[in-house]
């Protein structure tokens, strides 16, 4: 019997098809994936609560897919097959009718994929409505965006409902950072050579910094972002997945179960540094300023923002990974918006060298291994001798520029979903662990035990944060 993953056609049903994610990331990602790989034929079925027509959806699809990756004929083929169905995703009858539209548009043999490009609250309600349907389409796959749930308890409940709807290997908890080539490279880097794996641990590494600083501000996303904030939007999902990829014990095989087991094992060992969420976390939000020559209003003045919610736009948390490899090494996770410089890196700062012969003057600072996304590079900042004066070490950088990526992060994620491969998606227990790790910080912030600092848009962050 043909399994759904082997079928040639996929009906990709997007709930939230009028949203920012669909047009800005999903459709361009899909175009890149289809251009680079031999993938199933896709019929795009768009849906959202607000009334739209198939023609309007086709315009969104055309615009989202256009660009260098796919040739015009392929774009027009996808546009011509695209279908629209207005539906309240939280209503079971609407969902049933939506599946019928997808079946008509893609044909009865197409494997149905329901992509929840919705906020976490609506997603939970929509999954509840889906669970109430008796005749779900055969082979249904579900793709759910982050944040998965709104706290540990709701993530657990959502997992329980999902388990009643489809099997775990049909659930794709999307974290597009897992589709970033430099995130998967963290594992490859340590294992594809005999050099880096040897220093990858607390014996040689003093601290690890995972930093995702963005220059973009709110970008009109108040409805989603306000009340969510940087900790739940970025740290709770993306940055913890990056931490897991950097800190896990490499599995013997790169198969979903082995990799997901390794991720869960390292997340289970992760907790707030010294179990002190007040000392181990900082938060701030931007005031008015300028980024790349553009005037940015204070966050509290952005359209749709409720200043009373005390939403942070910059979050920093230090965590401990209590494994044999990493015990005692702080992992600092930081992400924020409207900062002066875009920075996406995982930096391992090495301990000071031992056994330096008397007479050799060491270089200032520390050696570092830095894995960066933009530009995609691996940089080793290393003290070397011989540059100028003999026996006077200086720091030099060895850099491997990895060039442009072939397929972007969403393209990789969608490739997995379209082919039924869960390797780069988040398993249910990992999603729950991520909430568990940050629960003490969320509680301390909720109780106002950590001040909400300020930084001007376009700056490096609050004065004194370092």
Ligand X SMILES: NC(=O)C1=CN([C@@H]2O[C@H](COP(=O)(O)OP(=O)(O)OC[C@H]3O[C@@H](n4cnc5c(N)ncnc54)[C@H](OP(=O)(O)O)[C@@H]3O)[C@@H](O)[C@H]2O)C=CC1
Ligand Y SMILES: O=C1O[C@H](COP(=O)(O)O)[C@@H](O)[C@H](O)[C@H]1O
Residue numbers at the binding site for ligand Y (CB under 6 A): 176, 214, 233, 409
Residue 424 interaction partner, one of ligand X, ligand Y, none, beta carbon < 5-8 Å per kind:
none
The residue (of 21 and 210) whose beta carbon lies closer to ligand X is 21
The residue (of 84 and 116) whose beta carbon lies closer to ligand Y is 116
CB of 121 to ligand Y, least distance (A): 15
160: tokens are 């329980």
Residue 273 interaction partner, one of ligand X, ligand Y, none, beta carbon < 5-8 Å per kind:
none
The residue (of 220 and 386) whose beta carbon lies closer to ligand X is 220
CB of 7 to ligand X, least distance (A): 26
- For ligand Y, the nearest residue by Cβ is 233
The residue (of 25 and 185) whose beta carbon lies closer to ligand X is 25
Residue 10 interaction partner, one of ligand X, ligand Y, none, beta carbon < 5-8 Å per kind:
none
The residue (of 179 and 462) whose beta carbon lies closer to ligand X is 179
The residue (of 88 and 233) whose beta carbon lies closer to ligand Y is 233
Residue 46 interaction partner, one of ligand Y, ligand X, none, beta carbon < 5-8 Å per kind:
none
Cβ contact 438:236 at 8 Å: yes
CB of 437 to ligand X, least distance (A): 19
Footprint on residues 252-311 left by ligand X (CB under 6 A): none
The residue (of 126 and 393) whose beta carbon lies closer to ligand X is 126
Residue 117 interaction partner, one of ligand Y, ligand X, none, beta carbon < 5-8 Å per kind:
ligand X
Residue 318 interaction partner, one of ligand X, ligand Y, none, beta carbon < 5-8 Å per kind:
none
The residue (of 53 and 397) whose beta carbon lies closer to ligand X is 53
CB of 221 to ligand X, least distance (A): 5
Residue 152 interaction partner, one of ligand Y, ligand X, none, beta carbon < 5-8 Å per kind:
none
117 binds ligand X (CB under 6 A): yes
* SS3 track for the chain: CCCHHHCCEEEEEEECCCCHHHHHHHHHHHHHHHHHCCCCEEEEEEECCCCCCHHHHHHHHHHHHCCCCCCHHHHHHHHHHCEECCCCCCCHHHHHHHHHHHHHHHCCCCEEEEEECCCHHHHHHHHHHHHCCCCCCCCCEEEECCCCCCCHHHHHHHHHHHHHHCCHHHEEECCHHHHCHHHHHHHHHHHCCCCHHHHCCCCCEEEEEEEEECCCCCCCCHHHHCCCHHHHHHHHHHHHHHHHHHHCCCCCCCCHHHHHHHHHHHHHCEEEHHHCCCCCEEEEEEECEEECCEEECCHHHCCCCCHHHCCCCEEEEEEEECCCCCCCCEEEEEEECCCCCCEEEEEEEECCCCCCCCCCECCCCCCEEEEECCCCEEEEEEEECCCCCCCECEEEEEEEECCCCCCCHHHHHHHHHHHCCCCCCECHHHHHHHHHHHHHHHHHHHCCCCCEEEEECCCCCCCCCC
| Calpha distance 82→13 (Å, rounded) | 10
224 binds ligand X (CB under 6 A): yes
CB of 195 to ligand X, least distance (A): 34
- For ligand X, the nearest residue by Cβ is 19
Binding-site member from 58, 96, 190, 221 for ligand X (CB under 6 A)? 221
Footprint on residues 63-92 left by ligand X (CB under 6 A): 88-90
Name the site residues for ligand X (rule: CB under 6 A): 15-21, 25, 48-50, 88-90, 117-120, 122, 145-146, 176, 221, 223-224
């Amino acid at each position: 019997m043909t399994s759904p993953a082997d079928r040639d056609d996929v009906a990709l049903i997007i709930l939230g098809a009028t949203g920012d994610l669909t047009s800005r990331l999903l459709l361009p990602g899909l175009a890149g994936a289809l251009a680079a790989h031999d993938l199933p034929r896709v019929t795009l079925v768009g849906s959202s609560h607000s009334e739209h027509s198939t023609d309007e959806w086709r315009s969104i699809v055309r615009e989202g897919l256009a660009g260098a990756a796919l040739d015009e004929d392929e774009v027009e083929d996808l546009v011509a097959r695209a279908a629209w169905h207005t539906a309240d995703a939280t209503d079971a009858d609407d969902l049933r009718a939506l599946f019928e539209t997808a079946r008509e548009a893609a044909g009865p043999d197409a494997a149905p994929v329901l992509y929840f490009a919705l906020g976490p609250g609506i997603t939970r309600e929509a999954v509840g409505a889906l669970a109430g349907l008796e005749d779900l389409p055969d082979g249904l796959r579900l793709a759910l965006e982050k944040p998965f749930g709104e706290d540990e308890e709701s993530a657990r409940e959502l997992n329980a409902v999902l388990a009643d709807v489809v099997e775990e290997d049909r659930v794709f908890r999307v974290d597009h950072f897992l589709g970033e080539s430099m995130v998967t490279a963290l594992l490859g880097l340590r294992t594809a050579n005999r050099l880096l794996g040897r220093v990858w641990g607390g014996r040689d590494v003093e601290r690890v910094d995972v930093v995702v600083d963005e220059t973009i501000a709110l970008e009109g996303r108040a409805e989603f972002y306000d009340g969510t904030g940087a900790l739940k939007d970025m740290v709770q999902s993306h940055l913890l997945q990056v931490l897991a990829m950097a800190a896990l014990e490499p599995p013997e095989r790169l198969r979903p179960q082995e990799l997901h087991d390794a991720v869960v094992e390292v997340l289970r060992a992760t907790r707030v540094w010294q179990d002190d969420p007040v000392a181990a976390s900082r938060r701030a939000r931007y005031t008015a300023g300028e980024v790349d020559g553009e005037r940015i209003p204070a966050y509290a003045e952005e359209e749709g923002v409720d200043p009373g919610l005390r939403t942070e736009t910059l979050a920093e948390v230090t965590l401990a990974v209590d494994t044999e490899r990493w015990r005692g090494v702080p992992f600092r996770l930081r992400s924020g918006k409207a900062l002066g410089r875009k920075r996406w890196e995982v930096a391992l700062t090495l301990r000071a060298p031992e056994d330096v012969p008397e007479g050799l003057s060491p270089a200032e600072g520390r050696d570092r291994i830095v894995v960066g996304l933009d530009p995609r590079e691996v940089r080793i900042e290393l003290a070397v001798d011989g540059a100028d004066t003999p026996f006077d070490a200086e720091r030099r950088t060895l850099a491997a520029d990895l060039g442009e990526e072939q397929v972007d992060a969403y393209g990789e994620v969608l490739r997995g979903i379209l082919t039924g491969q869960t390797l780069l998606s988040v398993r249910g227990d990992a999603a729950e662990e991520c909430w568990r790790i940050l629960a003490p910080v969320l509680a301390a912030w909720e109780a106002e035990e950590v001040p909400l600092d300020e930084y001007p848009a376009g700056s490096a962050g609050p004065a004194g944060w370092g």
